[in-house]
Amino acid sequence: IDIVEKLVSFAEARSSNPTPNVVLDGIKERVEKYELNHQQLQQIIIQLRTEADIRMESVEARLDVQQSEIAETRLEVQQLR
């Protein structure tokens, strides 16, 4: 999709016969926009990984509690027998 946009903008630029500097400025603008989007995506990925790590730690903590409760229940059952 991005390549198609570039081709369309290149074709539009050629059809209106702009100077090479105008075309170059347009390319620079698109590159800067791409770099900004890339940085934003990297930040989102870092946030998602952090949230996933926090959730995983929470799940592991609950699992530890449940396993200890199961062990206590088994011990109580054995004592009752």
List, for residues 45-68, the tens digit of each pLDDT value: 999 999 999 999 999 999 999 999
pTM of the model: 0.53
pLDDT digits (tens, 9 = 90+) for 17-41: 667 777 788 888 888 888 889 999 9
What is the number of other CB atoms lying within 10 angstroms of the CB of residue 81?
4
CA distance 29 to 27: 5
Going from N- to C-terminal start, the domains of the chain cover 2-80
For 34-66, b/e burial (b = at least 16 CB within 10 A) is eeeeeeeeeeeeeeeeeeeeeeeeeeeeeeeee
